Structure 1
Amino acid sequence: MIQTEIDKLDSAFEEAIATAKTTRRPQLLSVTEPIDQIDPILFFENAGQVEGGRVFWKSADEDFWLAGAGEAYALEADSNRFTQIEEQWTDILSNAIIANSRRLPGTGPIAFGGFSFDPDKPKTSLWKDFQGSQFRVPAYLLSVINGECFFTINILVCDHDHSGQLAFQVEKTKQMLFSRAAVEHEGPEIERVKEIDPDIWKQLVGQTTDKIKNSDIEKIVLARELRVYFQDSVKLSAVLDKLVEAQTNSYVFAFENGKDCFLGASPERLVKVEERRLLSTCLAGTAPRGDTEGEDREIGYTLLHDQKNLHEHRFVVEMIREAVEACCRNVKVPDEPVLYPLKNLQHLYTPVEAELDSKFSILDVVKRLHPTPALGGKPRMQSMKFIREDEQLDRGWYGAPVGWMDPYQNGEFAVAIRSALIQESEASLFAGCGVVKDSLPEEEYEETNIKFTPMLSVLGGQSWITQKH
């Protein structure tokens, strides 16, 4: 990676073209500059005019936003996916020319993307536009960090390119991306909601409890799908705007491929690394919020003392502790969970802090953490085998790591729950629950209905929610 200070874009392109001629390979050029404040939702809306797809990220607990337009470089992998993505990312950075004087986490060329839940699960047409492991370096990136805004252009420059033409195209695109046109805030209108085989899913819960009682498996997480049909194509920026407003303690994310977009508001951090400081989150055990303050306190107290939820939470804590200890020093884990309140739900929460060893990267940690017992089960191999063979749903990216990495070994991944795959005027929503030996099918079914609520509420599904509750 070549760090450089460049005052004029023309000279930056000339340097990249000269390097491409010398190396005889395309040259990634990345230039970051501070800009006046701009709304990330507005930037995402305008980015729809740039070919190559959009990305979006809002942190759950910081003033940190990313919005990306277009694709300068793609990273994809099939087998050995974490290692392959790491190698591709290291290779592109080793030859990149980067002008980024501040070097703040989340600026410069970032790789944004995710992985499928299970690469060995047969893929269906539902996820036809998504690869099993896919990251994108956005051609244009807005980073908002504690109120400061930064704009990065990432361009793959070839030896036959012309610096003046490249600079003209960049300036033209910038003017479009920074346009101040208003964002349409009206959400979609639902025509109908279809549950995908709910009775068959309940039967599977019963079969799963029988399996657990007659084996050494302690827990299997089952997921199901809700298909939603709208009157018109869904306006993605309006949905993101509503998620940001409603789900204040969640990661709001979006990854667009062609006409499909996977987006959500996940409360669950998988791992964050900043200047080698690591933070992971144990989030397992769920209850609704109360209608009154007193009812809310009572529900929270019950959750904190519910043995099934505490047992499920301890599964996750011990697995994350073990994975983090394999890559880190100075691991700190609290003895007891606390409540993590969201607008519609509340969870049991335990943070894990550590210092990432210099021999490891954030993807090394992701590889060890995914899937946590909160999304797969325990033991991991046996529960995953059961899900692969008996669960009819193709989870795709649902329940899997989604996030970003920058050139300075910083990054963050969330677990892609409370999510939806939006396909123009239709969408698939996903929700899961942990099944143990004492689970009752009807109770697990009701838990998934609760978990559909955050996404369904911003998609105009309030009447369905009211009917189910």
Structure 2
Amino acid sequence: MLEVKETGLQSMLEKAISEAKENHTARMISMTKKVNKTNPLLFIEAGKKLSVDRTFWSSTSENFSIAGIGCAHEINAKSNRMEEAEEAWQKLRDEAIIHNPYKTSGTGLVTMGGMSFDPLMQKTSLWKNFSHLSLTIPEMLLTQSDDNCYLTTNVKVNADDQAAELAQRLNKMERMLLNPSINLPGEVGIEMKQEIDPETWKQTVTYATDYIKQNYAKKIVLARKLFVKLSDEAAVSSVLKKLIEQQPNSYVFAFERNGDCFLGASPERLVKQENDEVLSTCLAGTAPRGKTKEEDDRIAHSLLYDEKNRSEHDFVVKMIRQSMEHYCRAVNVPDKPVIYPLKNLQHLYTPVTAVLNERYSIFDIIERLHPTPALGGVPRDESLAFIREHEQLDRGWYGAPVGWMDSNRNGEFAVAIRSGLIQGDKASLFAGCGIVQDSNPDEEYKETGIKFLPMLSVLGGGNHESH
């Protein structure tokens, strides 16, 4: 990683072009500057005019967001996907020419993206635009951290590029994105909801409980899909706005690939890295919110002392602790969970902190943690084998790690739950729940119905009849 003090875009481009000629290879340059406060959602909406893919990440409780437009470079990986991705990211970082006088997380060279839940699962046409692992370095990146805004321009230059022409194009793009004379589009409504074969799904729950009773597994997480037809094409920026407003304490994300957009609001952090410090959180065990404070407190109390939910939660805590101990030192786990409230649901919550040992990276932690017992089951291999054979669903990126990382060893990945894949005026929503030996198929079906609500409400309400 070559840190440069040069601040003029054109002179940086000239330097990179001359190095590309010398080394007969393309060079990535990344240049960050402070800009006036800009609404990241208007930035995302303005990017639509360019007909390029857009990426978005927001940690609503921390007043932090990253909005990306276009793609200066993409990392794709298939077989040993973590190893391949880490190698490619390391190489890109090492060879890039970076100008970033700020040490703010999410500035400098940043990559954003995600991966599929299970790379061994047969991919269907629904997820044709999303590879098993895809990380994008956006061409233009707006980072909002507290009250400060930063713009990063990333561009890959070749030996035959013209610095003046490139600079002109990038400056024009910047002006358009930072001064959008637009409003966010209006909201859409839901015309029709279609449950996908409910009775077959309930039957699968019964198979899972039988499988568990025979001691092949302790817990299996089963997901299902809800198909939604919208009144018009959904505007990503407007859906994101509603998710941010309605889902506090969540990570709001969007990843576009060739016009299809996977987005959601996940309360579940997988791992956060700040230099050597890492933080993972266990969010397992779910109950609805109450209509009054008294009812809410009563539900929270019974969730805290409910045997099924506590044992489900303890599975996950134990697994996270063991995973962290593999790569970290000073692993710290509280004795018992607390309640983590969201708009429609409340969960049991335990944070796990640690210090990353040398030689290891966020990729190692992700590989070790995913899928957590909250999304796969226990033991991992047996539950995944059951899911592959019986779930009849291509989860795609649902339930998988999505997030970002920067060239200063900061990053954060969440588990992509409470999410959906939007394709024009259609959406496929996903929800799952943990099956144990005494699970009731009708109750589990009802629980997944509650978990669809965050996405249904931002797409036009959750009260329409299913067909």
Structure 1 stretches of at least 4 aligned residues deviating more than 4 Å after TM superposition: none
Conserved? CA contact 2:69–2:138, under 8 Å? yes
Structure 2, unmatched stretches of 5+, are: none
CA distance in 2, matches of 1:301, 1:260: 41
1:173-229: CA deviation from partner (whole Å, max 9, x where unpaired): 011101233432532111100011111000100111001001241000000000000
Cα distance in 1 for partners of 2:51, 2:422 equals 18
Task: Note if contact 1:315-1:373 (Cα within 8 Å) is conserved in structure 2.
Answer: yes
Are residue 344 (structure 1) and residue 340 (structure 2) matched? no
Q: What code does the residue aligned with 2:413 have?
A: F
CA distance in 2, matches of 1:241, 1:176: 21
| Structure 2 match to 1:448 | 448
Match status 1:134 vs 2:134: yes
Offset of residue 310 of structure 1: 0.2
> Could you tell me which amino acid in structure 2 is paired with residue 299 of structure 1?
I
Partner of 1:15: 15
Amino acid at match of 1:112: M
Report if aligned partners of 1:418, 1:430 keep a CA contact under 8 Å in 2.
Answer: yes
Asked whether the 8 Å contact 1:34–1:149 carries over to 2, the reply is yes
Tell me the amino acid that sits aligned with residue 224 of structure 1: R
- For 1:218 and 1:54, locate their aligned partners in 2 and report how far apart those are by CA, in whole Å: 40
State the partner residue of 1:62: 62
Shift of 1:103: 2.8
Answer whether contact 2:42 2:184 (CA < 8 A) is retained. no
Where in structure 2 are the equivalents of 1:29-68 lying within 5 Å?
A: 29-68=29-68
TM-score (norm 1): 0.98
1:81 equivalent in alignment to 2:87? no
Q: Where does residue 154 of structure 2 map in the other structure? A: 154
Residue range with higher mean Cα deviation, 66-75 or 96-105: 96-105
Distance in 2 of aligned mates of 1:198 and 1:183:
40
Partners of 1:427 and 1:51 in 2: how far apart?
Answer: 20
Q: One-letter code of the match for 1:257?
A: R
Tell me the equivalent position of 1:95: 95
Q: Within 5 Å, give how 1:193-272 maps onto structure 2.
A: 193-272=193-272
Q: How does 1:339-418 map to 2 (within 5 A)?
A: 339-418=339-418
Deviation per residue, 1:391-437 (Å, 9 max, x gap): 10100000000001111111100000000000000000000000000
Please give the alpha-carbon distance, in whole angstroms, between the structure 2 residues aligned to 1:381 and 1:279.
25
Residue type of the alignment partner of 2:388? R
- Which amino acid in structure 1 is aligned with residue 284 of structure 2? A
Tell me how far 1:55 sits from its aligned partner: 0.2
SS at match of 2:280: strand
Letter in 1 for 2:396: G
CA distance in 2, matches of 1:135, 1:188: 30
* Aligned equivalents of 2:118, 2:30: Cα separation in 1: 33
Tell me the CA shift for residue 108 of structure 1. Answer: 1.0
Q: Is the 8 A contact 1:30 1:97 kept in 2?
A: yes
Structure 2 letter corresponding to 1:218: K
In 2, the alpha carbon distance for the partners of 1:159 and 1:288 equals 59
Residue correspondences, number:
466
Q: Does 1:426 align with 2:421?
A: no
Residue equivalent to 1:163:
163
Q: CA–CA distance in 2 between the matches of 1:94 and 1:144?
A: 25
C-alpha distance in 1, partners of 2:113/2:440? 36
Q: Which residue of 2 aligns with 1:320?
A: 320
Paired residue for 1:2? 2
Secondary structure of 2:252's partner?
A: strand
Deviation at 1:142, TM superposition (A): 0.3
Q: 1:461 offset after TM fit, Å?
A: 2.8
Contact 2:316-2:373 within 8 A present in 1 as well: yes
1:157 maps to a residue whose letter is V
Note the C-alpha offset of 1:60: 4.3
Percent of residue pairs bearing the same amino acid type: 53
Partner-residue secondary structure (3-state), 2:172: helix
**Which amino acid is the alignment partner of residue 49 of structure 1?**
K
Please state how far the C-alpha of 1:276 moved relative to its aligned partner. 1.1
Partner Cα distance (2:357, 2:289) in 1: 39
Q: CA deviation at 1:47?
A: 1.3
The answer to whether the Cα contact below 8 Å between 1:185 and 1:241 also exists between their aligned partners in 2 is no
SS of 1:118's equivalent in the other structure is coil
* 1:266 CA drift (Å): 0.0
How high is the TM-score relative to the length of structure 2?
A: 0.98
Paired with 1:183 and 1:92, the residues of 2 have a C-alpha distance of 36
SS for the counterpart of 1:131 is coil
Shift of 1:51: 4.2
Looking at structure 1, the residues matched to 326 and 60 of structure 2 have their Cα atoms a distance apart, in angstroms, of 26
- What's the C-alpha RMSD, in Å, of the aligned pairs? 1.0
CA contact (8 A) 1:220 1:376 kept: yes
User: What secondary structure is seen at the aligned counterpart in 1 of 2:463?
Assistant: helix
Give distance in 2, aligned partners of 1:21 and 1:405.
30
Contact 1:209 1:435 in 2 (8 A): yes
1:118 aligns with 2:118: yes
Bigger shift: 95-104 or 48-57?
Answer: 48-57
Q: Say which SS state the counterpart of residue 462 (structure 1) adopts.
A: coil
Deviation (angstroms), 1:50: 2.8
Q: Does the aligned pair in 2 maintain the 1:112–1:137 contact within 8 Å?
A: yes
Contact 1:398 1:417 in 2 (8 A): yes
Distance 1:234 1:365 in 2: 35
Contact 1:60/1:267 (8 A) holds in 2: no
* Counterpart code for 2:349: Y
Unpaired runs of 5+ in structure 1? Answer: none
- Aligned equivalents of 1:375, 1:197: Cα separation in 2: 21
Counterpart Cα distance in 2 of 1:379 and 1:243: 33
Aligned partners of 1:183 and 1:237 also within 8 Å: no
Amino acid paired to 1:197:
D
In 1, Cα distance between equivalents of 2:137 and 2:250? 24
Aligned counterparts of 1:77 and 1:50: Cα–Cα separation in 2? 27
1:145-187 CA distance string (max 9 Å, x none): 1211000000000111111101100111011101233432532
For 1:438, the equivalent position in structure 2 comes to 438
Task: Report SS of the residue matched to 1:85.
Answer: helix
Q: Which amino acid aligns with 1:282?
A: C
Distance across 1 between alignment mates of 2:274 and 2:47 = 28
Greater CA drift, 94-103 or 49-58: 49-58
Residue 270 of structure 1 aligns with an amino acid whose one-letter code is L
Cα distance in 1 for residues equivalent to 2:434 and 2:183: 39
| Native 8 Å contact 1:100 1:108 kept in 2 | yes
Q: Does the C-alpha gap of structure 1 residues 259 and 180 become closer, same or farther in structure 2, counting only changes over 3 Å?
A: closer
Shift of 1:109: 1.4
Task: Report the counterpart of residue 281 of structure 1 in structure 2.
Answer: 281
